[in-house]
Amino acid sequence: MGSRMLRDQLNRMGYHVGRRHVSTLMKKMGMMPLSCQRQTSIKHPGHQIYPYLLRGMAINQANQVWALDTTYIPMSKGFVYLTAVIDWTSLKVLAAKVAITLEACHAVDVLEEAYQKYGCPSIVNVDQGSQFTAEAFVSRVTQAGARISMDGRGSWRDNVFIERLWKTLKYDHVYLHAYESVADARSKILTFLKWYNSDRPHSSLDRMTPDEKFFKTLPALKAA
């Protein structure tokens, strides 16, 4: 965490401390994170690509737009893939799955879990990875009544909110652990994401947590 996030966490716990003091202590600790990346957005030449629908759109309600992505998670030996779906407005992680392969079925599983818990959004935004352009995934999006939106090739900013989630997850948790097994990675990552939803405030959400923002901006009928 940075000095702002540590300050917010301490303030929420009842410790009144300012950012400058936290920053001074952090400098004395001298921690330096390292990262490594694998390509998870490999395009399939035979799959249809859909247009990006979010440019210029006012997105201000929960369940208006969801975003899905897959990222690479290193372990002490080997690696796994994490697929997650978040609500665009609140940044809440609606569902997530750790798997050892990069297949469309895992993206479908994550989407299905989110549907069962929270209903259906208007738009589902993804990148052009083969797991998201596969017929099994696209058909599950459209069958539920949602439209599919895809980032431009190499345009990570088109799905910036889930990219920020990956950065938070990796710097605050993944790079601090050397998971011994897939089960260990799954358990610890899902526990972190639960904490992220319920206890981690965001400056972009007026220091609310994703859970707080989600239910505050959820349309009244769905919230009831």
Do the domain assignments include residue 46? no
Same domain, yes or no, for 108 and 187? yes
Structural domain including 28 reads 1-32
The string of pLDDT tens digits covering residues 115-164 is 999 999 999 999 888 889 899 999 999 999 999 998 766 555 567 888 89
Same domain, yes or no, for 21 and 86? no
Do the domain assignments include residue 60? no
Same domain, yes or no, for 140 and 209? yes
Do the domain assignments include residue 116? yes
* Residue 139 CA, distance from chain mean position: 22
Q: What is the pLDDT of residue 112?
A: 96
Do the domain assignments include residue 224? no
Residue range 68-75: mean pLDDT, rounded: 92
Do the domain assignments include residue 138? yes
Q: What is the pLDDT of residue 32?
A: 38
Helices (H), the chain: 3-12, 19-29, 104-118, 130-133, 135-143, 160-172, 182-199, 210-217, 220-223
CA-angle at 103, arms to 102 and 106, nearest 5°: 100
The count of structural domains within the chain is 2
CB 71 within 8 A of CB 190: no
The string of pLDDT tens digits covering residues 96-121 is 999 998 888 999 999 999 999 999 99
Same domain, yes or no, for 157 and 91? yes
Do the domain assignments include residue 42? no
Same domain, yes or no, for 160 and 212? yes
Same domain, yes or no, for 201 and 97? yes
Same domain, yes or no, for 133 and 24? no
Do the domain assignments include residue 51? no
Do the domain assignments include residue 164? yes
